[in-house]
Structure 1
Amino acid sequence: MTKLTIVARIQAKQDKIDLVKSELLKLIEPTRQEKGCLQYDLHQDNTDPSVFMFHESWESRELWQTHMGNTHLQAYMAATDGAVESFILNEMAQIA
């Protein structure tokens, strides 16, 4: 089984930073309790507060995909509909 690293960059619209941040923070505890979640850390850019980044580590891609279908992630998507400027997700493998 190959571990999966996820780096997700979320940029909130300037007038929606607080909303997006509060909704992202709600994801932390339930996600950290999910099967296969090894790491789930949220960061905010020091110079541009509209930019957030998740650094995640999962036991497998399959378990991460289960996470992507969970209700707390769907609730986040509904709550932030129209509030996110851009979202970039990278699936990565650690090589060193």
Structure 2
Amino acid sequence: MSTRVVDSQFPQASPWGAQGYALIVKLHAVEGMENALERLLMSVVEPTRAEPGCVFYQLNRDIVNPGIFHFYEVYKNRDAFLAHLATPYIRTLLIALQPYLAMDNEMVFLSPCGAMHA
């Protein structure tokens, strides 16, 4: 599984003129590692929420399949998202995740509709 982050793999801002940069990241835990993965993922929540470009950052665990986690993330813009990826705690997380993931994560990029608020 790859944790390499390359800016060009992330879409540019919305072509519709919407403000903000949002995404959902889906992660699948290795069976038996669900709680350990949750602890690891939670370790970046508060520092991320404190980033100046972070509008909203929430970790969620699937009710039906507790081995699946979803981050819902909203940033002021693409540059704020790229700054988030460059933080030491996210760089460390991307390396530390490897033994906990059953497959590559999935990322869906969204364009916020309407005004953003936290």
TM-score computed with the length of structure 1 as normaliser: 0.91
| Aligned-residue offset at 1:63 | 0.7
* Structure with the bigger percentage of helix: 1
The one-letter amino acid paired with 2:110 is: M
Q: Aligned residue for 1:29?
A: 46
Q: What is the rounded CA distance, in whole Å, between the counterparts of 2:27 and 2:83 in structure 1? A: 20
Q: Percent identity?
A: 20
Choose 1 or 2 for highest CA Rg. Answer: 2
Matching of residue 3 in structure 1 with residue 20 in structure 2: yes
Instruction: Name the amino acid aligned to 2:106.
Output: I
C-alpha displacement at 1:38, in angstroms? 0.5
- For structure 1, which runs of at least 5 residues remain unmatched after alignment? none
2:52 maps to a residue whose letter is: K
Are positions 1:70 and 2:84 aligned together?
A: no
Tell me how far apart the structure 2 counterparts of residues 80 and 18 of structure 1 sit (CA, whole Å): 13
Cα deviations across residues 34-64 of structure 1 (Å, max 9, x unaligned)? 1110000110000111100011111001110
- Secondary structure of 1:2's counterpart equals coil
Number of residue equivalences: 96
Aligned to 2:33: 16
Q: Which residue of 2 aligns with 1:95?
A: 113
Deviates more, 1:71-80 or 1:34-43: 71-80
Shift of 1:79: 2.1
Runs of 4+ in 1 over 4 A off after TM superposition: none
Say which structure is richer in strand: 1
- Which residue number corresponds to residue 53 of structure 1? 70
In structure 2, what residue type is equivalent to 1:49?
P
1:42 and 1:52 in contact (8 A); partners too? yes
TM-score of the aligned structures, taking structure 2 as reference length? 0.75
Once superposed, what is the RMSD of the aligned Cα atoms? 1.5
